[in-house]
Amino acid sequence: MSRRTPPASVLITGATGGIGRALALHYAAPGRILILHGRDTTKMDALTQECTQRGARVLALLHDLTDIDGWMNALDKVASVNPIDLAIVNAGATHIIGGDGESWADIERVLNTNLRAALATTSALLPHMQRRGGGQIALISSVSAWYGIPVSPAYSASKAALKNYGEAMRAWLAPRNIAVSVVLPGFVKSAMSDKFPTGKPFMLSAEDAAQRIARGLARNQARISFPMLLAAGTWFLAVLPAPVSQLLLQWLGFSRKT
């Protein structure tokens, strides 16, 4: 595990959300180019101003990631003009299951944002990084990738797939000097976590999460998982017999009863 050179240019998708915004402000520095994606114009304008005040040059991308072809074309054009050293693929969506289950529309929305758009972002950037002979990609997954949380099945599935994809790509791209890290955060204070109906153990601030992610990326960690107790607990659920894991989740209040 070798340390990475500080990036001169950083792409962050979902930059107007909790973790994305904190990461943008963390990386905002004189001489650095920030390519920030978001959909909320008001939040993006405010974030751009804050990052510019810290000395960064900001390029804002207001794009619907579920328009996969349009997003890939836009990203290809941007990367051709502004080579991207670090891409933090952070944009995400969640859904909490109801008494009748998850509708296909909700499942599709979550998978399109969390998985298809994330893989499309990676696919659009890789040719540019391979031509340049290096780069770094961070895929923001979740501790729920270790074991599916009953209140959010589609979300858990999307994050598990993203984790496996990132780990496979890391091994394949390492000889090409392209680093891939999978980030598996627990509960981070944000509008997304506010939707979660159960307890939120070991909740972290977005600023704390951003610091942990940035440190892990600088060290080129394969997995950046935090906080430690929650990460270990969800990993443990994956190795326990399934009936035991299910009982534990029910006891902890993470299973829908209706």
CA atoms of 203 and 186, how far apart (whole Å): 7
> What token pair was written down for 223?
């997995």
Catalytic residue list contains 155: yes
Listed by start position, the domains of the chain span: 9-252
Element of type H or E holding 216: helix 206-218
CB count within 10 Å of CB 30 equals 8
- Is the domain spanning 9-252 CATH 3.40.50.720? The answer is yes
Residue pair 14/92 in contact (Cβ under 8 Å)? The answer is: yes
* Per-residue pLDDT tens digits of the chain, which is 258 residues long: 567 789 999 999 999 999 999 999 999 999 999 999 998 999 999 999 999 999 999 999 998 998 999 999 999 999 999 999 999 999 998 888 877 888 999 999 999 999 999 999 999 999 999 999 999 999 999 998 988 888 889 999 999 999 999 999 999 999 999 999 999 998 888 666 666 666 666 678 999 999 999 999 999 999 999 988 777 877 767 777 877 777 776 766 666 544
Active-site residue identified among 27, 147, 155, 165: 155
Is 87 within 8 Å of 11 (Cβ atoms)?
A: yes
Using an 8 Å Cβ cutoff, are 59 and 75 in contact? no
Structure tokens belonging to residue 218: 């600088």
Distance CA 137, CA 49 (A): 25
Rg of the chain, C-alpha, whole Å = 18
